[in-house]
Structure formats: C-alpha cells, structure tokens
Amino acid sequence: MRRPILLVEDNEDHAEILMAALRQVAPQAPVELARDGEQALRRLLPGSGAGALAPALVLLDLKLPGIDGLEVLRALKDEPRTRGFPVVILTSSLEPEDLSKSYRLHANSYVRKPRRYADLVTLAGQLSHYWIQINQVEDGVKS
C-alpha cells in the first residue's frame, strides 16, 4: 500500500495548484488535504479519530487559521509516534525567523512556495521523489 502525502493548506487555490503539481509529478501517490491545523492534527495524532494517517510526507503551510503551522509541527515532533513523519514547511513567508523556528522544531525541510507554476511542479517532483523514495527504503528495511 502506498503511503499518502498530507497537504496542509487553507488557501483553496494553493491547495488546488499544489495537488495538480503533485498529480503531475507523482500520479501514483495519493494526496490528502487538510484545510487547517486542527484538521491536520486530527488526521495524524492517535486517538484523535479512527484510522490515524501515516503519511509519506507532510507538506505544511505556516499561515493557518486557528492552530498555525508551527504549532502543528511542534505537536507532531512532540509525539513519539509521529516524530518520524517527514514534515516539509511549504510557505510564502520570507521571514528568516519562520525558517529558524521551523528548524528548531525539527522540520525536515523548509521550502518557499515558488511563484511560477513550472517551478512549483519541479519542486513538487523533487520533494515527492526524495521523501517517497526514502520512505520506501525505510519501509523496506522495516519489512
């Protein structure tokens, strides 16, 4: 079974564009969408709902209504079961502080949303390939 990519994004347009790009570069990978931080945690944390998700990759926007991206990141990295999930911050923020905070909270990567769609597709390809391949290797090792 293929592990899904969880996209956490409140902006509908961005979500659509990213999902289109992911479909384009990794048509075989299932992509799930969380519309805010609360939704994302409900999907990932145990006891927070039936069938907790074990995603191959979490693409996390920082600017979210309610619980924002950094809080979601902290929650995931605090929890031993979810600590191993690769979390890539995908944001439009230019703030160096956001970058440093993210890394302090053990984000696996920090990527700024590129403006051009072509660049976005390239980025999506690189990310999905890298993290999905790693996951497959790890899964292989485990099995």
Binding residues for other proteins (CB under 8 A): 10-14, 16-18, 20, 35-36, 62-63, 65-66, 91-95, 113-118, 120-121
User: Nearer Cβ to other proteins, position 77 or 113?
Assistant: 113
Edge-to-edge strand order for the sheet containing 31-34? Answer: 31-34, 5-8, 57-60, 87-91, 109-112
Nearest approach, Cβ of residue 13 and other proteins (Å): 4
Kindly list the distances between the CA atom of residue 39 and the CA atoms of 2, 8, 79, 134, in Å, as whole numbers in the listed order.
Answer: 22, 9, 17, 26
Nearer Cβ to other proteins (3/105)? 105
Beta carbons of 52 and 41 less than 8 angstroms apart: no
Cβ 101 to other proteins shortest distance, Å: 12
**Residue 143 CB, nearest approach to other proteins (Å):** 37
Instruction: Give the HSE-up count for residue 45: Cα atoms under 13 Å, Cβ half-sphere.
Output: 16
Query: Please, which residue, 13 or 46, has the CB nearer to other proteins?
Result: 13
C-beta of 114: minimal distance to other proteins in Å?
8
Reported in sequence order, the residue ranges of 9-132 that DSSP labels E, i.e. its strands, are 31-34, 57-60, 87-91, 109-112
Instruction: Decide whether 91 or 108 has the Cβ nearer to other proteins.
Output: 91
Q: Residue 103 or 117: which CB sits closer to other proteins?
A: 117
> Could you tell me the CA-to-CA distances from 98 to 44, 83, 95, 102, 124 in Å, in that order?
23, 20, 5, 6, 21
Shortest spacing between CB 113 and other proteins, in angstroms: 5
